[in-house]
C-alpha cells in the first residue's frame, strides 16, 4: 500500500474515507491530550476540572468512533489499536460513572484511560517521533504506564477517606 508523508509521519494511502477519519481522529486525540492534562492539573471539583474532563470524555468518544472507522478499513494493521482504544473508552466511562460514589475508581478509570490513549498514540507513531524513535518498540507499550501508574497511585493515596466527591 502506498503511503503519504504528513509532517514526517507516513500515513497509509487507504482512500478518502480513511484520510477524513484520520483527520477527525487526530483532532479529537489532540483535544483529549490537552483537555486531559488540564483536568488532571486543575482543582478537583472545580469548574475548570469538570469542564475539561467532560470535553476529554466526549473527545474520547470521537477518538473511538474515528478509530473504529480506521480499524474497519485496515483491520489487520489496526486491531491492536482498536483494543487499546476500547480499553481507554471503557476506563473513562467507568471513571465518569464513579465520580461521586467511588472517587478512587474515578481517579483510576480516568487516569488509566489517559494512559491507554497515550499508549495507543506511541505504539502507532513512536517510531516516527523525535527522541521516541531512539527507543525500542517495547518502550512504546510500557513507558506511558510506567510514568502514569505511580501518578494514579499517588492521587488515590492523597484522596482523603470520607471527603466529598471532587467532581
The residue range of the domain holding 94 is 3-158
Other beta carbons within 10 Å of 147: 11
Q: 91 in a domain, yes or no?
A: yes
Q: 96 in a domain, yes or no?
A: yes
Task: Give per-10-residue mean pLDDT for the chain (167 aa).
Answer: 74 86 94 94 89 96 96 93 96 94 92 96 88 92 94 85 52
Please tell me the predicted confidence (pLDDT) of residue 164: 53
> Cα 154–112–25 angle (5° rounding)?
140
How far is 71 from 21, CA to CA, in rounded Å? 10
How far is 55 from 112, CA to CA, in rounded Å? 17
Phi, psi of 108 (to 5 degrees): -65, -45
Q: Sign of the C-alpha dihedral, residues 32, 37, 40, 41?
A: negative
Q: 165 in a domain, yes or no?
A: no
Q: 18 in a domain, yes or no?
A: yes
Q: Any alpha helices (H) in 98-163, and if so which ranges? A: 103-125, 137-158
Please tell me the predicted confidence (pLDDT) of residue 100: 87
pTM over 0.75: yes
Please tell me the predicted confidence (pLDDT) of residue 167: 43
How far is 91 from 108, CA to CA, in rounded Å? 8
Q: How many domains does the chain have?
A: 1
Answer yes or no: are the C-beta atoms of 41 and 49 closer than 8 Å.
no
Please tell me the predicted confidence (pLDDT) of residue 126: 86
Amino acid at each position: 500500500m502506498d503511503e503519504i508523508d504528513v509532517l514526517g509521519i507516513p500515513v497509509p494511502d487507504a482512500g478518502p474515507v480513511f484520510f477524513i477519519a484520520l483527520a477527525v481522529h487526530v483532532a479529537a486525540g489532540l483535544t483529549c491530550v490537552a483537555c486531559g492534562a488540564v483536568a488532571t492539573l486543575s482543582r478537583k471539583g472545580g469548574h475548570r476540572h469538570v469542564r475539561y474532563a467532560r470535553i476529554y470524555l466526549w473527545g474520547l468518544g470521537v477518538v473511538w468512533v474515528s478509530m473504529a472507522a480506521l480499524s474497519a478499513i485496515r483491520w489487520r494493521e489496526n486491531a491492536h489499536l482498536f483494543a487499546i482504544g476500547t480499553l481507554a473508552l471503557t476506563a473513562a466511562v467507568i471513571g465518569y460513572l464513579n465520580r461521586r460514589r467511588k472517587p478512587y475508581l474515578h481517579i483510576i478509570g480516568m487516569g488509566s484511560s489517559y494512559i491507554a490513549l497515550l499508549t495507543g498514540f506511541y505504539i502507532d507513531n513512536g517510531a516516527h517521533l523525535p527522541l521516541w524513535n531512539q527507543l525500542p518498540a517495547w518502550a512504546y507499550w510500557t513507558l506511558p504506564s510506567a510514568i502514569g501508574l505511580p501518578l494514579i497511585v499517588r492521587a488515590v493515596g492523597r484522596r482523603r477517606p470520607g471527603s466529598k466527591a471532587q467532581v
